């Protein structure tokens, strides 16, 4: 029986493995090719958008459309989560929170369908919704695999702004009464803010708490601002306020607080709020 100790390994692979162990990283490194293309997700998004278009408010009524499409959005989130749990490896599965933005995107498509009959607006809205449903879980898989770069984060942030814009427009520039407008503003801001704050690498509970705070502020503005001033300009300014609040909360709750970022995002909020206040005072 040979009792001699095993020879010590050397070479590039050995040193790379030792470096990963010293940094506390796992031994398995995923490449971009490890995360499958979101073909099934996108097909699901297209199918969902087709059903939403068929059940638009003009066809089945506003109340029925909201209930049916809302249920469909939740079912879509459940389907995406279950599919990824069954198909993807454990280290490549997106978090459940990655379905927040797809749910909001379906709501935004319903808002566009209910607000206009112009195909020039409806078709891009449907395309955006389908791509968000298909693409965001894929980006979540890239995050889980440690392959999320700056471009990916900017793409995700941009998708959040595009999704939230029609929802805020429907909440602050429509014939809805105060309570439904506040509910729409709060719910949509909660979903998009949760996704945005998680993109800022905040912990789950911290991100959800921050999103709840932002949603409470934005829904409270429905009650605070006079209904007479509801228009597209105000909705756009409130989108700027949301962007500033999102950045401000992320900067304040981050482990590394950067005073410059806090001041920058606070200026977004202050300037937009000042313009809204000036418009109200001018009548």
Ramachandran category for residue 100: left, alpha or beta (phi over 0 → left; psi -120 to 50 → alpha) = alpha
Mean pLDDT by runs of 10 across the 283 residues of the chain is 48 47 46 60 90 90 90 91 75 69 92 85 90 80 66 82 90 80 92 85 82 93 80 85 90 76 85 87 76
pLDDT in tens, 243-270: 999 988 888 887 776 777 788 888 888 9
What is the Cα–Cα distance from 48 to 130, expressed in whole angstroms?
8
C-alpha distances in Å from residue 174, one per residue of 94, 164, 219, 227: 35, 15, 15, 10
The first and second tokens of residue 278, run together, are 């000036």
How far apart (Å, rounded) are the C-alpha atoms in residues 192 and 120? 25
Q: For 12-34, how does the pLDDT look when each residue is reduced to its tens digit (9 = 90+)?
A: 444 445 554 554 444 444 444 45
Give me the pLDDT at residue 68, please. 93
Q: Give start and end residues of each alpha helix (H) in 173-258.
A: 178-199, 204-224, 232-253
CA distance 202 to 265: 17
């Amino acid at each position: 029986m040979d009792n001699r100790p095993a020879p010590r390994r050397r070479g590039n692979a050995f040193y790379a493995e030792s470096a990963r162990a010293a940094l506390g990283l796992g031994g398995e490194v995923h490449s971009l090719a490890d995360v499958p293309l979101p073909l099934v997700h996108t097909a699901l998004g297209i199918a969902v958008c087709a059903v939403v278009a068929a059940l638009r408010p003009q066809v089945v009524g506003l109340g029925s459309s909201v209930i049916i499409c809302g249920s469909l959005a939740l079912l879509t989130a459940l389907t995406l989560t279950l599919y990824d749990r069954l198909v993807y490896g454990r280290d490549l599965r997106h978090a459940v929170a990655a379905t927040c933005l797809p749910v909001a995107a379906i709501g935004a498509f319903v808002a566009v369908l209910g607000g206009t009959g112009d195909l020039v607006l409806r078709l891009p809205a449907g395309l955006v919704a389908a791509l968000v449903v298909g693409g965001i879980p894929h980006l979540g898989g890239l995050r889980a695999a440690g392959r999320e770069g700056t471009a990916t984060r900017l793409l995700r942030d941009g998708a959040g702004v595009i999704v939230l814009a029609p929802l805020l427009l429907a909440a602050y520039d429509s014939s809805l009464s105060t309570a439904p407008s506040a509910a729409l503003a709060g719910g949509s801001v909660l979903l998009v803010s949760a996704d945005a704050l998680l993109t800022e690498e905040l912990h789950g509970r911290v991100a959800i708490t921050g999103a709840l705070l932002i949603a409470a502020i934005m829904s409270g503005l429905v009650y605070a601002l006079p209904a007479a001033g509801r228009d597209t300009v105000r909705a756009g300014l409130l989108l700027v306020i949301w962007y500033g609040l999102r950045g401000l909360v992320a900067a304040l709750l981050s482990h590394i607080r950067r005073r410059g970022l806090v001041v920058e995002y606070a200026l977004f909020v202050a300037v937009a709020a000042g313009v809204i206040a000036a418009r109200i005072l001018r009548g």
